[in-house]
């Protein structure tokens, strides 16, 4: 059988709703400046590396046994971190964790959506949300955002518009990224409250993957958890904690909701090493989070400098900026790549998303951008 025959046969056997779809695939290119997936540019500090190695050394002899299915110690540490950072009493029984927040979000969709049910988000938003719907046979509902015409309000959500959409579509699960990806702005708590009230049977998930980067005074939806058993707040160690490779995401919700997620997880889904590495990281949370302020400064620098170049910047509470005003975003993406800087073309006409890296990486991006936009050099 030839390769093309095999491909044709596999396509024929594939679920019809998956045929012709393409997989999630931000390019992983080996270029000097990688600012395309919102990773933290700072390597894990040596002190934390040593603690991780020690933790793995201690647990390795027991790898003949399955991990603690309930990740009890990790759950306690995560509850402690949320309690310390939010000032709210978050109990270990309110915590669920997985291999990245993508997994815990998928658990929510598996448990509360699925065939005959629906998942809704307000787009542009995180590109994985429709994939959760696709992979679980859930109906995808594409909500919209947009308060004003300019880039400063175009991607905002107001309480009434969000509430009207969920009242109309009656989704089973609503996902709201705040700060939103790829646009960067946090959603007001009034929006979350309005959605929760307008969809009395929906699970409302607030995806706070970038919460630690939010501008001062931006409240977390953790403050809304009390008395709202259908509310879920997800977090990740992939961004602020500089642990994308560790694959550890988690959520906080009512213990009854957390309990329901046990029905859909694979047995022993969090490996012994994942639990050990995450605990070592959490024990050094202050050190790992130390670069957050430096990253926020580079983010604000990008906003200021691209605006000075005549481009637009969406206000950002995250570790990235959505830059607009390109006449041909794909061409500009390629020109930046040719200069050794990888950013993200998120498919929004005229826009590119750039992660705030180290000061040197940010300088490299801005210089490449300036050269690309220089009069006579190239069309913007």
Tell me which residues touch ligand PLP (CB under 6 A). Answer: 38, 100-102, 126, 177, 181, 207, 209, 236, 238-239, 244, 249
CA angle 247, 133, 242 (to 5 degrees): 20
- Nearest approach in angstroms of CB 244 to ligand PLP is 6
Closest residue to ligand PLP: CB criterion: 100
- Nearest approach in angstroms of CB 375 to ligand PLP is 35
The torsion defined by the Cα of 199, 200, 203 and 209, in degrees rounded to 10, comes to 60
CA distance 263 to 107: 9
Q: Would you say 90 or 105 has its CB closer to ligand PLP? A: 105
- Nearest approach in angstroms of CB 37 to ligand PLP is 7
Q: Would you say 138 or 181 has its CB closer to ligand PLP? A: 181
What 3-state class would DSSP assign to 21? coil
Q: Which residues pair with 324 in a beta bridge?
A: 312
- Nearest approach in angstroms of CB 146 to ligand PLP is 19
What distance lies between CA 106 and its chain's CA centroid? 13
- Nearest approach in angstroms of CB 178 to ligand PLP is 9
Please list, in sequence order, all residues whose beta carbon lies within 8 angstroms of the beta carbon of residue 276, skipping any fewer than 6 positions away. 52, 55, 56, 58, 59
- Nearest approach in angstroms of CB 196 to ligand PLP is 19
Q: Would you say 107 or 239 has its CB closer to ligand PLP? A: 239
CA distance 72 to 10: 42
Q: Would you say 191 or 368 has its CB closer to ligand PLP? A: 191
Read off φ and ψ for residue 108, nearest 5 degrees: -65, -45
CA distance 184 to 188: 13
Q: Would you say 111 or 368 has its CB closer to ligand PLP? A: 111
- Nearest approach in angstroms of CB 72 to ligand PLP is 21
Q: Would you say 126 or 155 has its CB closer to ligand PLP? A: 126
CA distance 168 to 144: 13
- Nearest approach in angstroms of CB 324 to ligand PLP is 19
End-to-end distance of the chain based on CA atoms, in angstroms? 49
Task: Decide if 284 contacts 135 (C-beta within 8 A).
Answer: no
Residue 321 in tokens: 């900026």
Q: Would you say 102 or 275 has its CB closer to ligand PLP? A: 102
Closest CA to 299 of 358, 346, 342: 358
């Amino acid at each position: 059988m030839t390769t093309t025959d095999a491909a044709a046969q596999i396509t024929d056997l594939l679920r019809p709703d998956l045929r012709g779809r393409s997989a999630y695939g931000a390019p992983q290119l080996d270029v000097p400046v990688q600012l395309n997936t919102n990773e933290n540019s700072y390597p894990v500090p040596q002190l934390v590396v040593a603690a991780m190695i020690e933790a793995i050394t201690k647990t390795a002899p027991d790898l003949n046994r399955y991990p603690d299915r309930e990740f009890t110690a990790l759950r306690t540490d995560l509850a402690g971190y949320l309690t310390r950072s939010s000032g709210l009493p978050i109990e270990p029984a309110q915590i669920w964790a997985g291999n990245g927040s993508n997994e815990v979000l998928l658990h929510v969709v598996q448990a509360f959506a699925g065939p005959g049910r629906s998942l809704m988000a307000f787009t542009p938003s995180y590109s994985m949300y429709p994939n959760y719907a696709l992979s679980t046979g859930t109906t995808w509902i594409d909500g919209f955002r947009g308060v004003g015409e300019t880039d400063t309000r175009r991607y905002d959500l107001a309480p009434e518009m969000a509430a009207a959409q969920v009242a109309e579509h009656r989704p089973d699960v609503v996902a709201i990224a705040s700060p939103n990806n790829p646009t960067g702005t946090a959603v007001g708590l009034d929006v979350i409250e309005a959605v929760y009230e307008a969809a009395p049977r929906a699970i409302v998930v607030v995806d706070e993957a970038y919460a630690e980067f939010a501008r001062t005074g931006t409240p977390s939806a953790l403050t809304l958890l009390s008395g709202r058993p259908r509310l879920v707040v997800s977090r990740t160690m992939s961004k602020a904690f500089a642990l994308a490779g560790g694959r550890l995401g988690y959520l906080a919700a009512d213990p009854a909701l957390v309990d329901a997620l046990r029905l859909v997880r694979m047995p022993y889904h969090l490996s012994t090493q994942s639990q050990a590495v995450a605990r070592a990281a959490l024990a050094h949370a202050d050190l790992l989070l130390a670069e957050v302020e430096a990253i926020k400064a580079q983010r604000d620098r990008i906003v200021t400098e691209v605006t000075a170049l005549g481009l637009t910047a969406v206000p950002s509470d995250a570790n990235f900026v959505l830059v607009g005003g390109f006449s041909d975003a794909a061409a500009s993406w390629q020109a930046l790549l040719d200069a050794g800087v990888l950013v993200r073309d998120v498919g929004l006409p005229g826009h590119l998303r750039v992660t705030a890296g180290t000061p040197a990486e940010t300088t490299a991006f801005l210089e490449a951008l300036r050269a690309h936009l220089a009069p006579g050099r190239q069309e913007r």
